[in-house]
Amino acid sequence: MSRNFVIGVDYGTDSVRSVIVDTSNGNELASAVYYYPRWRDGLYCDASLSRFRQHPLDYIEGLEETVKTCLKLAGNSVAENIRGISVDTTGSTPVAVDRSGTPLSLLPGFEQDPDAMFVLWKDHTSVKEAAEINAHAARHPLDYLRFVGGIYSSEWFWAKLLHVLRSNEKVRAACYSWVEQCDWIPFLLTGGNDVNQLKRGVCSAGHKALWSKEFEGLPPNSFFASLDPILDCFTSRLFTETYTADKAAGRLSAEWAQRLGLSTDVVVGIGAFDAHMGAVGGQIEPYHLSKVMGTSTCDMLVAPLDEVDGKLVKGICGQVPGSIIPGMMGLEAGQSAFGDTYAWFRNLTTGAITRLLNTSSLIDASLAAKLSQEMNDRFIRETIAEAEILPLSDKDELAVDWLNGRRTPDADQLLKGTLTGLHLGTDAPRIMRALIEATCFGARAIVERFNQQGVPVKGLIGLGGVARKAPYIMQMMADVMQMPIRIHRSEQTCAAGAAMFAATAAGIYDRVEDAMNAMGQGFDATYYPEKSNADHFNKRYGRYKSLGEYIATTQTIS
């Protein structure tokens, strides 16, 4: 009897990873990762402007290379037994496309235009447009923001579209539609050539694009046209119907079957965001907050529809039926910078040293590069190790973690991070501890919001690289939250979740829950809160909230 295999593809911020998984037990046969070369080189980005764009060729080249590498590693007999492939991506990461669904940056004349590329989730160039959407929605008799926490974010679909259309006349003239990366990759794999036939996932549509069954689709054209005439009739080029990620987008096209070495019988699943599929890969449970912790965090929670009927959680990133597990309410929150916070401090510290090394007259360029790489590789790990042995004190340095704005509770990308209590004895480990503490306090604020709004958080699940590789951060998370946090065994929960959805879309399992139970890898660590630290972190958290309230009311952007 032949075995069934599926491919899960996880598009992250820096790279794409593919895995081949045995559907009978979830065992990983092979994996491969591809780091985006254009993104790695900083092309089309400007951090000083909060502009972060990615070229579709990074995605296409990475998809082909990782899948082919996986098939090679898994052995020749595996390819003929691949039944499905599903994809998760970051989001909201949309792109301007023509009528055929081709991203404009793949067309002549747009190859180097950042506005013709995918606008990465962390791009905050559209804060002005997000503010206008919020003000406009507040004046409207119908509350079109009620299912996205009541606040529209610059990280999302409509704000990014409005900013690109306003700022680039050439792109505006060529842009027929606007497509999320998680919807475009399956469209690419199935050989789509008419964007009007592209199947949109309920995950991206509900959480970022204001789609809802209660609105019979998107808000009406009149809502957007009265916001800005530049959006007049744009909804007619978008969508009204959406699909859960357990459904099929189609089958692998002849072109992509040949490119990958697979059959055209392979089912391609509907796409979704990485954290949503990652929550499934990490075996999410009702009312357990699944925290996908990487450059940012995405915090996912599911609950039975009848138990949360009529409850609207303010200030989160949306609540959408079926966005995580079909048939259940999916709720999303998160922090705009988590691992990015630690990386910022590393870059702040080692960046200056790297520049000095590169201009040194004492060492050659090759040695300078090696020393720089060694510092970058060791800095976070060793600074955290030094922070871990510091005694706790109420007088410790205090930080607020909004280095990339605040995602939740209450999205505001104009807010900035803060570090206070510095003195001549402050050193790198003490600052690192303050930053780690701040990211944990930001996580606690999210849990408190769910609890306050009547959706109780009964447990915590840690997923992703930070959860598995940083015990000190996870222990502080448990201490700050005063709740245990279980760490999922899988190294690649997002890719594993994509594989579970692929198995369901291909008909190997009837329900995502069945795939999750059969293919899940379980948990291999639990961090329990130190009761002796509870009072210390309660007091510190109170100071964090007070400091956050102060800077939120005093920071202004001219």
395 and 469 co-located in one domain: yes
215 and 364 co-located in one domain: no
61 and 171 co-located in one domain: yes
Count of domains for the chain: 2
Instruction: Name the residue range of residue 52's domain.
Output: 5-282+491-523
| Residue 162 confidence (pLDDT) above 70 | yes
Predicted local confidence at residue 558, as pLDDT: 41
Predicted local confidence at residue 465, as pLDDT: 86
Closest CA to 473 of 446, 442, 514: 442
| Residue 1 confidence (pLDDT) above 70 | no
The answer, yes or no, to whether the previous bond of 236 is cis (omega within 30 of 0) is no
List, for residues 82-120, the tens digit of each pLDDT value.
999 999 999 999 999 999 999 999 999 999 999 999 999
Query: Cβ contacts of residue 102 below 8 Å, gap of 6+?
Result: none
Give CA–CA dist 430/389, Å, rounded: 10
20 and 154 co-located in one domain: yes
CATH number at residue 166: 3.30.420.40
446 and 509 co-located in one domain: no
Cα 306 to Cα 74, 149, 248, 302, 531, distances in angstroms = 44, 19, 27, 12, 36
**Structural domain includes residue 319:** no
Query: Cβ contacts of residue 7 below 8 Å, gap of 6+?
Result: 18, 19, 20, 21, 67, 70, 82, 84, 85, 86, 499, 502
469 and 501 co-located in one domain: no
**Structural domain includes residue 314:** no
* Residue 19, helix vs strand vs coil: strand
361 and 277 co-located in one domain: no
**Structural domain includes residue 333:** no
pTM, whole model, 2 decimals? 0.91
Closest CA to 463 of 440, 491, 435: 491
**Structural domain includes residue 174:** yes
93 and 157 co-located in one domain: yes
Q: How many CB atoms lie within 10 A of CB 270?
A: 26
**Structural domain includes residue 29:** yes
Q: Is the separation of the CB atoms in 95 and 181 below 8 Å?
A: yes
115 and 160 co-located in one domain: yes
List, for residues 59-84, the tens digit of each pLDDT value.
999 999 999 999 999 997 899 999 99
List, for residues 412-448, the tens digit of each pLDDT value.
988 999 999 999 999 999 999 999 999 999 999 999 9
Q: Give bridge partners of residue 290 from the DSSP assignment.
A: 300, 461
450 and 514 co-located in one domain: no
446 and 505 co-located in one domain: no
Mean pLDDT across the chain, nearest whole number?
95
N-to-C CA span, the chain = 68
261 and 350 co-located in one domain: no
**Structural domain includes residue 289:** no
List, for residues 220-274, the tens digit of each pLDDT value.
999 999 999 999 999 999 999 999 999 999 999 999 999 999 999 999 999 999 9
**Structural domain includes residue 183:** yes
Q: Is the separation of the CB atoms in 119 and 184 below 8 Å?
A: no
**Structural domain includes residue 290:** no
